Amino acid sequence: MASLLDEVCGEVVERRTSGRSRTAYLHVNFRAIAPLNRPLQIEARIRRSVGRKTYVDATIRDGETGLRPMLRAST
Ligand SMILES: CCCCCCCCCCCC(=O)SCCNC(=O)CCNC(=O)[C@H](O)C(C)(C)COP(=O)(O)OP(=O)(O)OC[C@H]1O[C@@H](n2cnc3c(N)ncnc32)[C@H](O)[C@@H]1OP(=O)(O)O
């Protein structure tokens, strides 16, 4: 789950900013158990950019219900 979040955050930064980037830190908050064998909805958005640093927030939700996030991450 953490790797998924890292990947999606990285992709958002790659697509929305110029130049190569890499993760400096990844904070993950596991708020609920993620279900097996169900689709997941993963969302990431840039919170702010300061110089060459980009801050990203991401969530993973149940893909069927879209209810409150099971995981939240910030990078
Ligand atoms: C379709 C396309 C698909 C494309 C799909 C792409 C998907 C890719 C998925 C991405 C997954 C990954 O990135 S995997 C890679 C995982 N990451 C890594 O391997 C990174 C390893 N670490 C590093 O390379 C380095 O430590 C850096 C680059 C993070 C920082 O090195 P640096 O740049 O020399 O650092 P330095 O000058 O000391 O610091 C610069 C500024 O960053 C801050 N800073 C430095 N390290 C940290 C840190 N860990 N946490 C917080 N802040 C930090 C410093 O306080 C400073 O702030 P200030 O004083 O300026 O305010």
Is 64's C-beta closer than 6 angstroms to any atom of ligand 1?
A: no
pLDDT for 18 equals 85
| Interface predicted TM-score (ipTM) | 0.88
The Å distance, Cα 41 to ligand 1 centre, comes to 26
Q: Could you read off the pLDDT tens digit of each residue along the chain, which spans 75 residues?
A: 999 999 999 999 999 998 789 999 999 999 999 989 999 999 999 999 999 999 999 999 999 988 889 999 999
pTM: predicted TM-score of the whole model, two decimal places: 0.90
Residue 44 in contact with residue 8, Cβ under 8 Å? Answer: yes
The helix or strand, by DSSP H or E, that contains position 7, with its residue range, turns out to be helix 2-16
pLDDT for 44 equals 97
Ligand 1 atom having least distance to the Cα of 7: 9
pLDDT for 20 equals 87
Sheet bearing 71-74, strands edge to edge: 27-30, 71-74, 53-62, 40-50
pLDDT for 54 equals 97
